[in-house]
């Protein structure tokens, strides 16, 4: 009886192991690829600035953000927009800020987009917003 149980256990282990090895090769998903892209404005005293970080072709922005480095040196600068955008098949992150105190100190606006390959958009039953196309106005 013990011998039959051992044979059954060995057969199960071999069969399961063979399946795991076979399925890993057949159903394996490709590795995820992530790229972080940055953008920056000039370091000057311009009142209103905007900047984009564009993902490489075929990639989608899944996250991003913006900052005004050393903002304590320019306390009147306010970030008023930081969001993803999609424009004619390209994806990225867009940010805008302005010197609300209208000081004459130089400042920089920086943005980063986190981009990935193979991202698709599907409608969500909760009613999430559809992707939109946005083009910042030229200065």
- Encode pLDDT of 24-66 as tens digits: 555 667 778 899 999 999 999 999 999 999 999 999 999 999 9
* Sequence spans of domains, the chain: 1-30, 34-117
- The topology under which CATH files domain 34-117 is Immunoglobulin-like (2.60.40)
Q: How confident is the model at residue 67 (pLDDT cuts 50, 70, 90)?
A: very high
pLDDT at residue 19, as a whole number: 37
Q: How confident is the model at residue 119 (pLDDT cuts 50, 70, 90)?
A: confident
CA–CA distance, 94 with 57 (Å, rounded to integer): 17
Which 8-state DSSP code applies to residue 137?
P
Provide the whole-model pTM: 0.66
Least confident window among 12-26, 67-81, 82-96: 12-26
CA–CA distance, 64 with 61 (Å, rounded to integer): 7
Residue closest to 101 by CA, chosen among 67, 73, 81: 73
Q: Is residue 18 classed exposed, middle or buried when 0-12, 13-18 and 19+ CB atoms within 10 A define those classes? A: exposed
pLDDT at residue 33, as a whole number: 87
């Amino acid at each position: 009886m013990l011998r039959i149980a051992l044979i059954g256990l060995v057969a199960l282990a071999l069969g399961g192991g063979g399946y795991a090895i076979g399925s890993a090769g057949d159903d394996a998903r490709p590795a995820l690829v992530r790229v972080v892209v940055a953008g920056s404005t000039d370091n000057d005293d311009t009142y209103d600035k905007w900047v984009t970080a564009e993902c490489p072709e075929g990639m989608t922005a899944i996250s991003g953000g913006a900052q005004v480095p050393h903002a304590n040196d320019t306390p009147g600068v306010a970030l008023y927009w930081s969001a993803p955008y999609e424009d004619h098949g390209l994806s990225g992150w867009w940010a805008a800020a302005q010197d609300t105190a209208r000081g004459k100190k130089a400042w920089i606006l920086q943005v980063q987009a986190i981009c990935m390959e193979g991202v698709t958009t599907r409608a969500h039953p909760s009613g999430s917003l559809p992707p939109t196309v946005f083009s910042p106005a030229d200065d």
